[in-house]
Structure 1
């Protein structure tokens, strides 16, 4: 049986604090910067800006990226796990993740430490941006904001502020 593809959500304090949502697709981590982080509320649409692909090895990175260029700053692994592709075409056939992303709509089921349940990524057509939306399922919970309720890393247990302080 093939191994399930991974996902990781890294909290990154670069020019602005944001969440990098990364999904293993075709041997790389397809990536989106989600400024406000994932929401468990299906009525909330989160902006997801595509960023450069990253290597699979980057999924476990935590630390402080030094320098003065864009992308510097503290990084923690806010969540991680595996996902199952749920994207289907009009004939209800499963669409592979790379094709789904090329087509502008990708639905997946996350099995992470913090994030569980189904999510949809949809390209909006405006500047190539996407929306990340929680699908209505048993894991949806509009009353909980995980970004504030659980700010720590799933690997080190550090918050982004604690990670930044390791370089002071």
Structure 2
């Protein structure tokens, strides 16, 4: 499926004459796939976890944010695919627009797909997500190490599709979970949500 088809839902929810969000034009390069974690202070403050899969960012809303503590199992609810340019988006989505509120880039970097089948052969990342379980290693400025996304509710029978995002491992003495989103700073500009909101999203 082409990026234009994958981004139809994303574009249909937004008025690009009002929002600063990217409409999506960038094609994927040959470099390692990217990931980004954004804090989104909308109707409810949450974290958005996005992994580049081909020409889009597959996206999940993570209410409590990703954790580096293997004991934390974090709910992750799928949202629409986002364009690759969204990795850099930081600003204020106007009130009345879908997702209206302030966004900062909490973490970003590259990731390494690690999924294998039962015989130990590598499985394409898109395929592993389709099957409901994907493992990967993050190389971010804040998040580093092996993680897994596992679907535990498939969205049938009127239920909302839901996944768990978990840090793999046996435990770490320096694990600290996720910080207070209202005190957290952007890895892109060093600003807090309040500072971005006060400045109207301007850098």
Fold in common (TM above 0.5): yes
Which of 158, 165, 171 is residue 132 of structure 1 equivalent to? 165
Query: C-alpha distance in 2, partners of 1:34/1:89?
Result: 27
Matched, 1:148 2:180: yes
Query: C-alpha distance in 2, partners of 1:105/1:7?
Result: 17
User: What residue number does 1:49 align with?
Assistant: 77
User: What residue number does 2:125 align with?
Assistant: 97
By how many angstroms is 1:5 displaced? Answer: 0.1
Greater Rg over alpha carbons, structure: 2
Which of 51, 58, 61 is residue 86 of structure 2 equivalent to? 58
User: What residue number does 1:6 align with?
Assistant: 34
Query: C-alpha distance in 2, partners of 1:54/1:80?
Result: 15
Decide whether aligned partners of structure 1 residues 144 and 49 sit closer, same or farther in structure 2, where only a CA change above 3 A counts: same
| Contact 1:47/1:131 (<8 A) preserved | yes
Question: How many residue pairs were aligned?
Answer: 166
TM (norm. structure 1) is 0.92
More strand by share: 1
Matched, 1:157 2:185: no
TM (norm. structure 2) is 0.77
What secondary structure sits across from 1:124 in the alignment?
strand
By how many angstroms is 1:69 displaced? Answer: 3.8
Query: C-alpha distance in 1, partners of 2:170/2:53?
Result: 24
| Contact 1:15/1:70 (<8 A) preserved | no
Decide whether aligned partners of structure 1 residues 80 and 137 sit closer, same or farther in structure 2, where only a CA change above 3 A counts: farther
- Structure 1 residues without counterparts, runs of 5 or longer: none
Write out per-residue CA displacement over residues 107-155 of structure 1, whole angstroms, 9 at most, x where no aligned residue: 00000000000000000126310000010168x4564134239710000
Matched, 1:39 2:67: yes
| Contact 2:73/2:165 (<8 A) preserved | yes
Query: C-alpha distance in 1, partners of 2:197/2:184?
Result: 14
User: What residue number does 1:106 align with?
Assistant: 134
What secondary structure sits across from 1:155 in the alignment?
coil
Q: Runs of at least 4 residues of structure 1 off by over 3 A?
A: 140-143
